[in-house]
Every structure is written in C-alpha cells, then in structure tokens.
Amino acid sequence: MSQVVTEKVGQKILKENDRIAMRLREEFARRGILCLNFISSPGAGKTLLLEKTLESFGPQERVAVLTGDIQTDNDARRLGRYGFPVRQITTEGACHLDAKMVENALTGWDLDSIDTLLVENVGNLVCPTSYDLGEAVKIVLLSVTEGDDKPLKYPGIFFKSGLCLITKVDLLPYVPFDMVVARENARRIHPDIEILEVSALTGQGMEEWRAWLSRRRAR
C-alpha cells in the first residue's frame, strides 16, 4: 500500500551563471577590484555617463571598461578615447551580458593592474537582472524621458540595484517626468536604494556621482 511522503528540500537553484559569477566575485575580492554593472534601457545614457566619468579620471587611475552590445564596437571606440583599457563584448544576439562573457573578456588583462572595472551592460531592463556578473553593485540608469513609473514596471532591476542614477535631468523642463514620483516609486520597490540625479551632458550632479564612486572605491 503506497503512501505519499513530502520531503523538505530547501535547495537554492544555482544557475550555471551564478557559479561563474561567484568565481569572478572571489577573484575581484582577492585582488581588491571594484566591479560595477551598469544597466538600463537602450538610450538611457550609459555610454555618455561612462565617457564623462573616464574623462574625470587622472591617468594614474587604474580603471578598465567592458562594454556589451549585440552588434558593433561603437561604444568601445567612444570609451577608448580616454586612455584606459576598454574591451567590447559583442553578444551577437544575446540581450544581456553573462558571467562567462565577462570572464572571457578579462583574459589577457593583468588584473593586478586594475582597481575599478566598469561594465556597461547591453541596453535592456529585463534580462540583465537575472545575470550576476560578479559585480559589487548593480547600478540602474533611468532617464527622465522614460516615465516616472519605470521602477514599478521593472521592479526586478530596481530591487537588485544598489544605486539608481536618474539621467538626462537637463531635459526635465521638456518632459512630464515627475522626479518626486519617480524617487518614491524606486523606494517603494527598494527602500534602501541610493538615488542620484545627473546630466552627463551639462555636468549637473556629476560631482555627487564621482563622490559616490570615490566612497565606494575607498571601501
């Protein structure tokens, strides 16, 4: 006479990507590398923000950049103009970077000569959420042309990000974006998320962004 038995398992489903990401995270920790994963919708201003950030660094800064796109090396060429090592990851179809791509892209670089690794993800607010790259912090960019309810529509990435950069604030006079509402929405999803408002174009807020970076690098 058969009987039904329920066995508790409680086993985390560790995707293959998570295993590689853990390896990367350990490697970064060992070498004191701060890795930041920049995520946003296409066109929210990741590349310009990174350009302006690199521009503000002195030549002694030990920073390197990985930039992901489905096609072209346009972003790597833009970012490569500031004198720091930059590599393009061309996914040729994948809508997100994954840990394996990052691991492969780092081959041949002397990791002991890098203190900060900036990773620009493929423009996408959905899929990158699920792919840990071994980063210390996920940074989500939300531009004022996108709508102040974005955090509610894409809770996953806002939940997982440590910092939200609200970008293109120079355009605020021309768009119906309500900054108070946007900030409330972000905090509704993730009460402890840090929020900074920037315009990479005009420089507004960029000093606070650089200060955030410095504090993070000092940790």
Partner 1 sequence: MHEMGIAQEILGIVEREVEARPEARVKAVGVRVGRCSGVDTESLRFCFECLKKDTVVEAAELRIERTGADELDVSLVELEVP
Residues forming the site for partner 1 (CB under 8 A): 2-17, 126-127, 129-130, 155-156, 159-160
What pairing do the DSSP bridges indicate for beta strands 163-167 and 194-197?
parallel
Three-state secondary structure call for residue 142: strand
How far apart CA 208 and CA 98 sit, in angstroms, is: 29
Q: Output the CA angle 25-45-22, nearest 5 degrees.
A: 10
Closer residue to partner 1 (CB): 28 or 154: 154
CB of 5 to partner 1, least distance (A): 5
Task: Give the shortest CB-126-to-partner 1 separation in angstroms.
Answer: 7
- Distance of closest approach, residue 30 Cβ to partner 1, in angstroms: 26
Q: Which is nearer to partner 1, 85 or 156 (CB)?
A: 156
Cβ nearer to partner 1, comparing 7 with 110 = 7
Scanning the structure block, which residue is given the tokens 């002195």? 58
> Closest approach of Cβ 119 to partner 1, in Å?
18
Nearer to partner 1, 80 or 156 (CB): 156
Question: What residue type is 5 in one-letter code?
Answer: V
Between 12 and 215, whose beta carbon lies closer to partner 1? 12
Please tell me the distance from the alpha carbon of residue 122 to that of residue 128, in angstroms, as a whole number.
Answer: 8
- Minimum distance, C-beta of residue 90 to partner 1, in the bound complex (Å): 20
Considering the complex, what minimum distance in angstroms separates the CB of residue 212 from partner 1? 23
Nearer of residues 47 and 121 to partner 1, judged by Cβ: 121
What separation in angstroms does the CA of 72 have from each of 11, 30, 88, 172? 40, 33, 9, 31
Long-range interactions of 70-74: CB distance < 8 A, separation 24+: 70/94, 70/95, 70/122
First CA to last CA distance, the chain:
62
